[in-house]
Structure 1
Amino acid sequence: MVVSATNSSADVLDSRLLPGTQLLENFAKLFAEQDVVSAMVNSFLIAVGTTVLSLLLCSIAGYGFEVFHSRAKDAVLAILLLAMMIPFAATMIPLFELFANAGLVNSLIAVIVPTIATPFLILLFRQATRSFPHEIIEAARIDGVSEVGIFARIYMPTMRSTYAAAAVITFMTAWNNFLWPRVILINNDVQTMPLLISNLSAGYVTDYGVLMLAVLLASLPTMVIFLVLQRAFAAGITGAIK
């Protein structure tokens, strides 16, 4: 991908394995044909907004399912497990009608809202909460700390590794999301990076050097996020609490 971004389309089709001299030309052509800055900003806003809201809502849900047991909550959890089996294509048309009736077509809010509470993240936080020492919760309650205070001041700092793992997964998923943005974002002025890349390969003639450069630019944010949080990601996936 990196090598292809420095070559012309003809060199890419010829399977050239050495870096070329077309990087600046590919940059100029990409930014001349597509609004890359706007697409990067839109993708960043969607990814960050989805990540922040998902971590907050899903951690609260996972904490509640594990700490406050009841038959009703177990039934809701079973429904969430069943919801994981429903493909997104089955709910895409009703979702579009819902946001169209609300006047939110071509808005970033319509991309963020359907993805802020996923069964996977709820189950991830619920399983991680099982290893959380409940004696700390009882001690805090005896000391008069409210449930909100316990969650914000004790639970969240202790579960940093789980939050980091969930942040990496959610950010990468939101950044690379293609199908739903393609459906709900009709105008190019609100397109994301995956949509921009799709537009580059949708014509009769594809410039593969420019295409690979766009893919490289779209890959950088997720690579940086993962490299920065990789240790916490590994610890969060294994459920470690320090």
Structure 2
Amino acid sequence: MTRRSLRSVPSLVFLTVAALASVFPLYFMVVSATNTSQDVLGSRLLPGGQLVDNLNKLLAAQDLGAAMWNSTLNAVGTTALCLLVCSIAGYGFEVFHSRNKDRLMAVLLLAMMIPFAATMIPLFRMFADFGLTSTTIAVILPAISVPFIILLFRQAARSFPHEIVEAARIDGLRELGIFLRIFVPTMRSTYAAAAVVIFMTAWNNFLWPKVILINEAFQTMPMLISNLTSGYVTDYGVLMLAVLLTSLPTMVLFLVLQRAFAQGITGAIK
């Protein structure tokens, strides 16, 4: 073994331990979904044979299909509208750059420092006055304009060649056509990165849906998990199965878009 190989051994050992520590919670979640509640409390690390039984208990206790559909509808709707609004805003902030827009962007970034709990009550009263409680619109609307996503698209738009915009304008292409036919295809990796962040945030959102969705028929997957722990006795095997089912869509999305996600984040940082 060469001297260079010996120097790399501590790094490899550290990375191996870090990787195992990162993967272990996922492994324990999957294994626990196949075990009984007593086995989960006993920290059993081997798969069991209770997966079907836990699934039947989950279906009997909660409306899993409705919760999965509600979460999907909220997350997909939020992602689509947020990508549209924030990408247009980021494009406008950079392509039509001015000092006033820089000041407005600074205000938006300062808004990120305000905790959601401070705006939740007036937001709820506003939606209640319009009769929008227990609706998908009430869940989606507050999340379609996110300062971080606007900043992400603005930073990515800085690498967008403005000469193409000028040439397209000379050729008679309008701003909407420039945005849809030139900007959007060029920024596919940024859209993928933003989609992952928005979808994961919307899918895992718990506090606002819990407040605004008064009707239990509109409960989402995080709300379903909360309901499983609200009784006198918690079946941890069923609970871990629900957590596993809740985690699958975001994991699949990230695995599919991980390369584009890395490219989009790197391009925005540059």
TM-score tier by shorter-chain length is over 0.9
Residue of 112, 129, 138 corresponding to 1:101: 129
How far does the alpha carbon of each residue in 1:38-78 deviate from its partner, in whole angstroms, 9 at most, with x for none? 00000000000000000000000000000102232222112
Structure 1 distance, partners of 2:106, 2:48, is: 55
Offset at residue 32 of structure 1 (A): 0.7
Q: Distance in 1 between matches of 2:99 and 2:66?
A: 48
- 2:213 is matched with which residue: 179, 185, 188? 185
CA drift of 1:85 comes to: 0.8
Matches within 5 A, 1:64-83: 64-83=92-111
SS across alignment from 1:239: helix
The one-letter code of the counterpart of 1:11 is: D
Whole-Å separation in 2 of the counterparts to 1:220 and 1:69: 41
How large is the RMSD of aligned CA atoms in angstroms? 0.8
Runs of at least 5 residues in structure 2 that lack an aligned partner in the other structure: 1-28
- Runs of 4+ that moved beyond 3 A: none
2:155 pairs, out of 122, 127, 150, with: 127
Aligned partners of 1:140, 1:212: CA distance in 2, in Å? 54
Supply the distance in 2 between the matched residues of 1:111 and 1:145 (Cα, whole angstroms).
36
Counterpart of 2:185 in structure 1 is 157
Which residue of 2 is the match for residue 53 of structure 1? 81
Partners in 1 of 2:33 and 2:97 — Cα distance? 54
Using the TM superposition, give the Cα deviation of residue 17 of structure 1 relative to its aligned residue in structure 2, in angstroms.
0.7
In structure 1, distance between residues paired with 2:48 and 2:152:
45
Larger radius of gyration: 2
Identity score, percent: 76
**Aligned twin of 1:147:** 175
Output the CA distance in 2 between the equivalents of 1:73 and 1:19: 56
Q: CA deviation at 1:142?
A: 1.2
2:233 corresponds, among 196, 205, 215, to 205
* CA distance in structure 2 between the aligned counterparts of 1:45 and 1:134, rounded to whole angstroms: 37
- Name the structure, 1 or 2, with higher relative contact order (CA <8 Å, separation 6+): 1
Q: Larger deviation: 45-54 or 74-83?
A: 74-83
2:267 paired with 1:239? yes
Q: Which amino acid aligns with 1:155?
A: F
So what's the TM-score if we normalise by structure 2?
0.88
* SS at structure 1 position matched to 2:208: helix
TM-score norm. by structure 1 comes to 0.98
Superposed displacement of residue 79, structure 1: 1.1
- Please report how far the alpha carbon of residue 138 of structure 1 lies from its aligned counterpart in structure 2 after TM superposition: 1.0
Distance 2:35 2:131 in 1: 44
Q: 1:213-232, aligned counterparts within 5 Å?
A: 213-232=241-260
Paired amino acid for 2:48: G
1:129-180 deviations in whole A, cap 9, x for unaligned? 0011111111111111111110000000000000000000000000000110
Q: Distance in 1 between matches of 2:199 and 2:54?
A: 28
Specify the alignment match of 1:12 in structure 2.
Answer: 40
3-state DSSP of counterpart to 1:73: helix
Q: Tell me, yes or no, if structure 1 residue 22 matches structure 2 residue 50.
A: yes
What is the DSSP-based 3-state SS (H/G/I as helix, E as strand, rest coil) of the residue aligned with 2:132? coil
3-state DSSP of counterpart to 2:267: coil
Cα distance in 1 between the residues matched to 2:165 and 2:58: 54
